[in-house]
Structure 1
Amino acid sequence: MASSQPPKCYLDLIKECDSFPHVEIPRLPHVADFPVDYYSLLLPSDSRSHGFIPANVATQMPWTTDFVISTTGTLPRTVQLLDTSRGNDTAAACNASFSKVIDLAQSQGLFLNTLGRKPKGEDFRIMGALNYQGKNGLVQLRRSAAALFGIANRGAHMTMYTRSKETGEIRIWVPRRNRHLATYPGMLDNTVAGGVKAEESPQECIIHESDEEASLPEDFVSKHVRAAGAVTYVTQTGSGGGQDTQTEVGGYDRGLCVSDVIYVYDLEVPAELAETVVPKPQDDEVEQFYLWDVETAKKAMRNGEFKPNCAVVMIDFFVRHGIITEDNEADYMEIVTRLHRPVPVPTTAPSHA
């Protein structure tokens, strides 16, 4: 997929995802001088902000009586979710409240770039929510609506690679997304990637996505996959660039504050298995897989052929494997720093909760 644009540098690629201004985001609901007004999303019995909702969403959302919205013109701007269970099953009550308001918005044709017209399967959990008492305890909401509420999304991406026996050269398995997909059709991806469902761990996500997307056996992946940290960034949708060109391929409405936590995994195929363990498309997500050397992958990245967040994960892989270093990259320290931007919402529940 050729590009008519000049080649991008690594920092350009990171900025496409990490596009939210580097300001103190938790302060935004308390001020009136930022270009976009944001509301804090507050959960029951918890003063911490779990999401940041732009004013255009907060004022259009068909809120039910389960939510209390701060009066226009007052600071801080807040959306407070109430516990309709009165403590009997707070998480279930929160989940039902989210579901009702999302269904209402969808039925009224609101936020179609983000919600679409059909229900979208799995739920995302709200990272850092209190460990509420109840049958499940997880506060969660529909994946397609998560960005509207400004919560942090959890994803898991795996890079599968081989090394030459003779030279040690790395070769990376790179898939091309199916051209019929609604988001980023025909673009390049990481070997295996997916959103982490509310009830699963990142590694569980990698194992089942490896089977579904790449036909990789569960026992092989479980044995050889290695956790390699996380990439974090904050996107302001519609501010320019690949991750946030929302009305084109990104699938979001404009002005949203989207925090992403991507757990990264490496899978080095043992040399003796390199010819037999090969990823193959299984579902309709992937068109084909390529086995590329590093220079080919770099060229495709600079040409803008990778899905934006997958380019960021690939850059992280290059840093961790000594391919991008202080010696060969002028922006090295900014790259390393922006690959791990602190997200503005809690990621763990308080230890006393």
Structure 2
Amino acid sequence: MSYLHHIEACNTHDLTGFRPFRVGSDQIGWVRHALADRLTKFTGIFVVESGGVALHPSLDTFQARTDAMALVVETMVAEGAIGRLRREDYPVVTSWGAEPLLRIDRAAVAHFGIRSFGLHINGYVRKSDGLHLWIGKRAMDRGIAPGKLDNLVAGGQPHGLSLDENLVKEAREEAGLSPEGARRAVPVGAVTYLMENKAGLKPDTLFLYDLEVDEDFTPRNTDGEVEQFMLWPLERVAERVRDSDDFKFNVNLVIIDFLIRHGHLKPEEPGYLDLVTGLRRPL
């Protein structure tokens, strides 16, 4: 096990198993060949060819594309090809800040290889013996990474909310932070990864924040996602990341970035440059 192991695990994929998914000339995702073949039955919604899949050109508005994809996703859920709907829509964009071409239920995002975005907050305490990080333990009933270790706050970026609004929402739900407390979080960059999983492909971008909190602060989860919070010395966190798979897969990347920025991992670390560049892979 190593730090680099986690970066490589989040960037393992084989694009030869996928076809580009487009709206007009804009590529918005990737679909597996088997899924592309299944989509041929949705006449009037997709144009399926050996070189790619596109939404039908007659679907020329945001709402028409959204409604058509909702019908497809609901059918796939009924057939068991996609798990239950998450009832949270993600914007479908070609790049961060671009105008959304449609929105789609979060449950279907990886199946269509659509870019998604999220935010993570490193909550830390500065003590006389060094930095300590707040670590959450995910509830065992979570659909993704049950029981795994997590950041103080983490969440996907839904359609219809600004990043600041989502920061406040997630910080309140996951750690009981007030809007004022959440907005003390400092934006410190982003990590990216391109990961193939059972559902499909995940081209993800995580916006990162550091939040220094007082020693008497105790996080309080309100949405049932976290069953326990722990305050660990940075050295213990670093060792757990380096030596185990105990953290949720993408949280490892967030913490490695924190370790680099705060000088815990130095240029003398074996594979240091691979770590630095591997955290921001082109998507």
Question: What residue in structure 2 maps to residue 19 of structure 1?
Answer: 12
Shift of 1:119: 2.2
Normalising by structure 2, report the TM-score: 0.93
SS in 2 for 1:59: helix
Asked whether the equivalents of residues 161 and 267 of structure 1 are also in contact (C-alpha less than 8 Å), the reply is: yes
- 1:159 matched to 2:122: yes
Say whether the 8 Å CA contact 1:174–1:291 is kept in structure 2: yes
Indicate if the aligned counterparts of 1:83 and 1:94 stay in contact, CA closer than 8 A. no
Give, in whole Å, the separation in 1 of the partners of 2:144 and 2:221.
Answer: 18
Match of 2:103 in 1: 140
| Aligned: 1:335 with 2:275 | yes
2:212 alignment partner in structure 1: 268
Aligned to 1:84: 58
Residue ranges of structure 2 left out of the alignment (5+ in a row): none
Measured in 2, the distance between the counterparts of 1:16 and 1:340 equals: 14
Q: How many Å apart are 1:39 and its aligned residue?
A: 1.4
Which of 149, 166, 174 is the matching residue for 1:213? 174
Cα deviation for residue 131 of structure 1 reads 6.6
The TM-score with structure 1 as length reference comes to: 0.75
Deviation at 1:60, TM superposition (A): 2.4
Instruction: Write the distance in 2 (CA, Å) between the matches of 1:287 and 1:131.
Output: 36
Partner of 1:259: 203
> Which residue does the alignment assign to 1:66?
45
Conserved? CA contact 1:99–1:142, under 8 Å: yes
Aligned-pair CA distance for 1:152:
0.9
Q: Deviations over 1:40-84 (max 9, x none)?
A: 11113xx132111110111123434121111xxx4xx11111243
- The residue number in structure 2 matching 1:41 is 21
Structure 1 match to 2:187: 227
Q: Determine the structure 1 residue equivalent to 2:147.
A: 186
Q: 118-127 vs 92-101, which deviates more?
A: 118-127
- C-alpha distance in 2 between matches for 1:10 and 1:149: 29
Q: How far apart in 2 are the matches of 1:315 and 1:226?
A: 17
1:256-335 map, 5 Å: 256-269=200-213, 273-275=214-216, 277-301=217-241, 302-327=243-268, 329-335=269-275
Aligned residue for 1:126?
92
Asked whether the 8 Å contact 2:238–2:259 carries over to 1, the reply is: no
> Residues 221-257 of structure 1: CA distance to partner in whole angstroms, max 9, x if unpaired?
11x11111110010122xxxxxxxxxxxxxx43xx22
Q: What is residue 201 of structure 1 aligned with on the other side?
A: 162
Does the C-alpha gap of structure 1 residues 84 and 48 become closer, same or farther in structure 2, counting only changes over 3 Å? closer
Q: Decide which moves more: 199-208 or 315-324.
A: 199-208
CA contact (8 A) 2:186 2:209 kept: yes
Deviations 1:116-142, CA, capped at 9 Å, x for gaps: 1x321111111227977xxxx652111
Q: Could you tell me how far apart the structure 1 residues matched to 2:102 and 2:30 are?
A: 16
Q: What is aligned with 2:3?
A: 10
Contact 2:136–2:149 (Cα < 8 Å) also in 1 = yes
Alpha-carbon separation, structure 2, partners of 1:307 and 1:324: 20
CA distance in 1 between partners of 2:3 and 2:177 (Å): 30
RMSD: 1.9
User: Number of matched residues?
Assistant: 280
Larger strand fraction of residues: 2
Contact 1:175–1:287, Cα closer than 8 Å, also in 2: yes
SS at match of 2:53: strand
Say whether the 8 Å CA contact 2:85–2:106 is kept in structure 1: no
What do residues 76-99 of structure 1 show as CA deviations (whole Å, max 9, x unaligned)? x111112435x5xx1111111111
- Structure 2 counterpart of 1:105, which letter? M
Contact 2:10 2:195 (C-alpha < 8 Å) held by counterparts: yes
Separation in structure 2 between the aligned mates of residue 201 and residue 141 of structure 1, nearest angstrom: 17
Q: How far apart, CA to CA, are the structure 2 residues paired with 1:127 and 1:274?
A: 40
